[in-house]
Structure 1
Amino acid sequence: MKLDEVQNMGYEKFSLYSKKIMPLRLYRYYPNLETVDKNTGKTANYSIQALEENTVFLQTPTAFDDVYDSDINVEYSIYEHLRLIEYCKRCGLNVNKNQPLEDIGNVLTKTLYDYYLVNNSLDNVFIEKPSSESENLANQIFLKYVIIELNKTHDFAKAVANAIQSEYSDYMSSLKNTFRISCFATTPYSQLMWGGSYANCHKGFCIEYTVLPDAKEYKDIYFNLFPMIYSKIRTDMTAKLVSFKDENITEDVLWDIYFSGALRKSIDWAFQNEWRLLLPLHGGGSNYNVKFFPITKVYLGNRMEPENRKKIIEICNKKNIPYVGIKRNSQYFEMQDCEIKCEDCPQYKNFNK
C-alpha cells in the first residue's frame, strides 16, 4: 500500500485492517543466553523463561537496535518557536508567528522578568485560563523549570531557553515511552533473524505462537497487535504534536504516535515482516512479561550446542510442545526443518552417551 493510503486510514480502520491480514501464527526468535539482571544483579536466561512461562517481554523502544525505532520526527527549532508563541499567548501577549524566534523569545523573557521583579515568583504570570488539567500542570512544570534554571544561570534569557529544551526532552521521552513493545516475525526460516543477535547466530531457538482471535483471555493481546509500516520517509509531526502537547491523548494523537513512530521503520528492515504488540505503560509496575498466545512449536537453531539442545528438548517434552531442528537446504540459500528427529541425530546421541 502507498504510505498516504495507510495514513488516511486512521487508527480504527488500520486496526480493523490489521485483524484481516494477521497471520495465524507468529514467531519470535530467542538468543538463549544468560544475562545479568540490572536490578537484582542475578544471572537469568530470559529466553528459557519465555519458553517455560509462555510469556513475552515488553521492551522500551530505546533498547532496540534501530536508532530510528519509535523516534517521532519533531524538529526542535520548530518546537521551540511554537512553544514560545504559545507561552506568549498564555501571558496575554500578541505576537506575530512570522517574527524571528529570537524576537519572540525576547518578548516572553522580558514579560517573565518584569513579573518576577515585582512578585518574586512566576506563579500567576499566565493569565489565560488553562483548557485542561494537563495544560495547568504543563504550565506549572515549565515555570518551575524557569526558576530552577534561573537559580543556576542567573540569566532569564538562558533560563527560558533551557526550560524549553528540558520540556522538549521530556516530551520526546514521553512520546517514545507511552507504551512498551514486543516484536514478532511471520516465518521461522529467516536467515537474517537466525544469523543475527536475535537468535545468537543460529545458536538460539524460535518459538511459534498460534493466534486465537476468538479467545477472551487473549483479547487485549489480539487487539493490540499491528503490522509494521516500512518506508523511506519520516513524517514531520512537529506542528501537530506540539498542538496536542498539553492535552490528553486522544485516538487521533495515538494514531499519530503509532503511524509516525512505534509502527514506522526504514524500508531497510522490511525483510523482518514484523508485527508488534503495543501495550501502554502502567505506573508502579516493573514486571513487563505478559502471557501470550499458546506456544505450538519450537524450532532449534542449526548451531545450537548439544547441551543447550538437550535442555530445550526436555522443556518441550515436559510441556508437550512439538519441536524440530533447523538445518540448511542443500540446493538453495534457505533454512528448513530437519527430517531427522533431534534425539536420533548422531551428534546429539554421541553427546548424551
Structure 2
Amino acid sequence: MAISEIKNLKHLAYRLSTTHCIINGKIYELDKVEQLGCNKFSLQSKLALPLKLYKYFPNICNIENINYSIESLKNNTVYLQTPNNFDDVYDSDIHMDYSEYERYRLIEYCERSNIEIDENLSTHKIGDLFVQALLKIYLETKDFSNIFTKDNLTEIEELSNKLFVLKITKQLEKTDDLTKAVQAVIQSNFEEYSSQLKNTFRVSCFTTNPYSQLMWAGYANCHKGFCVEYTILPNDKRYEKIYLNLFPMIYCKVRPNMAKQLAHFEDKDVTEDIIWNIYFHGALRKSLDWAYQNEWRLLMPMGRQTSDYNKEFFPITKVFLGNRMDYKTRKEIIEICNSKNIPYIGVTRKLGTFEMEECKVKCEDCYKFKR
C-alpha cells in the first residue's frame, strides 16, 4: 500500500472518529443521535436494551469495614454513586469554557438590567458597561438589587438576582473594586453550576459481558471479586422506574463547548431540552477509549437522603466467581448464593486464546476448591 493511501486512511479514520459515535456496540452519526432528543433516544435505547446486564463487584471492605459488594448480593440492590468518584476524569463533565460562560452571563445580567449592548462588543467592554450601571444605581439608591429592572422574570431568575446581590455585597467586604467583585461572583457561579451539572444524577454502571478481562481486572479486584447477572423484566411494573432510567453510553472523541447553551439554561425551569443536554453532553458521554465496556447506566435524580442511593434492581439470576478468588471467599459467596437460590459458576481462562469463559466444572467438584 502506498504511503499516500495510508495517510488517506488515517485521515478518514480521524474524521469518522470526530463525526461518529459507538452506542451499544454499533456505529452512529453523532449529529443524528443528538437530533433524536431525550424521548426518542430513550425509546430507541429500550428497543436495544439486552435481556441480561452484568455488574462487576470488587468484594472488598471500605474504610468503615463495610463490604457493599456483599450487601448488594444479599439484598439484590445497586448503589448509586456520584460521578466524582469514577475513574474517568471526564465522567459526566460537560465541556463549558469559562471565558465564554463569563461573557454570556454578563450579557444575561445586562438584559435583566435593560442595558442595551452590542453583542459584538468584547467581554471586557460588556463587563465595563454592567459595572458602570451597577455603580450608578448604587450611588442613587444605595441598593444593588435595583439594577435588575426587567419585567416578567421567572421565580428562578428572581432568586438568581437576589443571590447575585448578596454575593456582590459579600465580595465588596473583601475588595473595594467592583469589577473584581463581579468577576469573583461569576467565577463562583461557574464553579457551583459546573458541580451541579455533574452531580444532577447519581449513577450505577452495568455492562453486557461477564467475561471482559479488563472489567475483571479494573472493577472486580483483579479477578478476585465477582460479577452479577441481572435479568431485565421490561413489563414488570415493580421495576418500571428502573427500566425507564436505563440508558446506553455514547462513546465518541469530541466534547463540544456548551457554554452558550448552559449559560442560557442556568436560571430556567428544567425542561426536556435541558435534561437532554445534560444526558447527551455529560452523563451518557464518554471517550472512545472506554468503548470496550459497552456500558449501560442507571441514572436517578440526586436525592436528599443517603438511603435513596441504594436501589433494588432487577432479579439476580446468576453470579460469576472471579478466576483468582480464594477458597474462603469463594465458599462465602457460594453459601450466599445457595441461601438465595441463585445459580453460580466460576470463570476460567480459555485454552488457546486470551479470553475468559464460564467454567465447565462446578466449584464444589473442582480439585482447586476441595479442601
TM-score by length of 2: 0.91
Offset, 1:115: 2.1
Of the three residues 238, 256, 260, the one matched with 1:239 is 260
Provide the rounded CA distance (Å) in 2 between the counterparts of 1:35 and 1:167. 34
1:84 is aligned to: 106
Provide the rounded CA distance (Å) in 1 between the counterparts of 2:211 and 2:155. 51
Provide the rounded CA distance (Å) in 1 between the counterparts of 2:229 and 2:86. 22
Matches within 5 A, 1:38-49: 42-49=64-71
Provide the rounded CA distance (Å) in 2 between the counterparts of 1:135 and 1:123. 13
1:5 is aligned to: 32
Matches within 5 A, 1:64-83: 64-83=86-105
Q: Look up the SS of the partner of 1:332 in the other structure.
A: coil
Provide the rounded CA distance (Å) in 1 between the counterparts of 2:35 and 2:74. 42
* Cα distance change, pair 130–45 in 1 and its aligned pair in 2 (3 A): farther
Report the residue type matching 2:112 in the other structure: R
> In the alignment, is residue 172 of structure 1 matched against residue 199 of structure 2?
no
Offset, 1:284: 4.3
- 8 Å CA contact retained: 1:33, 1:47: yes
Offset, 1:236: 2.0
Offset, 1:126: 0.5
Matches within 5 A, 1:286-297: 286-297=307-318
Offset, 1:116: 2.2
1:145 is aligned to: 167
Deviations 1:204-254 (A, max 9, x none): 000000000000000000011011101001122221121111111101111
Q: Look up the SS of the partner of 2:173 in the other structure.
A: helix
Offset, 1:282: 2.5
- 8 Å CA contact retained: 1:130, 1:136: no
Offset, 1:192: 0.5
1:21 is aligned to: 48
Matches within 5 A, 1:142-291: 142-196=164-218, 198-291=219-312
- 8 Å CA contact retained: 2:201, 2:300: yes
- 8 Å CA contact retained: 2:137, 2:146: no
* Stretch of structure 1 that moved more, 14-23 or 118-127: 118-127
Offset, 1:287: 3.8
Q: Look up the SS of the partner of 2:168 in the other structure.
A: helix
Q: Look up the SS of the partner of 2:174 in the other structure.
A: helix
Provide the rounded CA distance (Å) in 1 between the counterparts of 2:304 and 2:339. 36
- 8 Å CA contact retained: 1:56, 1:290: yes
Matches within 5 A, 1:112-123: 112-123=134-145
Provide the rounded CA distance (Å) in 2 between the counterparts of 1:199 and 1:117. 64
Percentage identity across paired residues of the two chains: 54
Offset, 1:170: 1.1
* Cα distance change, pair 263–219 in 1 and its aligned pair in 2 (3 A): same
Offset, 1:119: 2.9
> In the alignment, is residue 327 of structure 1 matched against residue 348 of structure 2?
yes
2:9 is aligned to: none
- 8 Å CA contact retained: 2:213, 2:356: yes
* Stretch of structure 1 that moved more, 269-278 or 134-143: 134-143
Offset, 1:150: 1.1
1:39 is aligned to: none
Report the residue type matching 2:285 in the other structure: R
> In the alignment, is residue 128 of structure 1 matched against residue 150 of structure 2?
yes
Report the residue type matching 1:249 in the other structure: V
Q: Look up the SS of the partner of 2:341 in the other structure.
A: coil
Report the residue type matching 1:64 in the other structure: F
* Stretch of structure 1 that moved more, 145-154 or 9-18: 145-154
Structure 1 gaps of 5+ residues are 37-41
Report the residue type matching 1:21 in the other structure: A
Provide the rounded CA distance (Å) in 1 between the counterparts of 2:200 and 2:94. 12
- 8 Å CA contact retained: 2:83, 2:199: yes
Provide the rounded CA distance (Å) in 2 between the counterparts of 1:115 and 1:34. 59
Offset, 1:258: 0.3
Provide the rounded CA distance (Å) in 1 between the counterparts of 2:326 and 2:166. 57
- 8 Å CA contact retained: 1:211, 1:293: yes
1:310 is aligned to: 331
Provide the rounded CA distance (Å) in 2 between the counterparts of 1:59 and 1:154. 42
TM-score by length of 1: 0.95
Report the residue type matching 2:41 in the other structure: F
Of the three residues 51, 55, 59, the one matched with 1:32 is 59
Offset, 1:154: 2.2
Provide the rounded CA distance (Å) in 2 between the counterparts of 1:98 and 1:230. 35
- 8 Å CA contact retained: 2:52, 2:229: yes
* Cα distance change, pair 130–177 in 1 and its aligned pair in 2 (3 A): farther
Offset, 1:144: 1.3
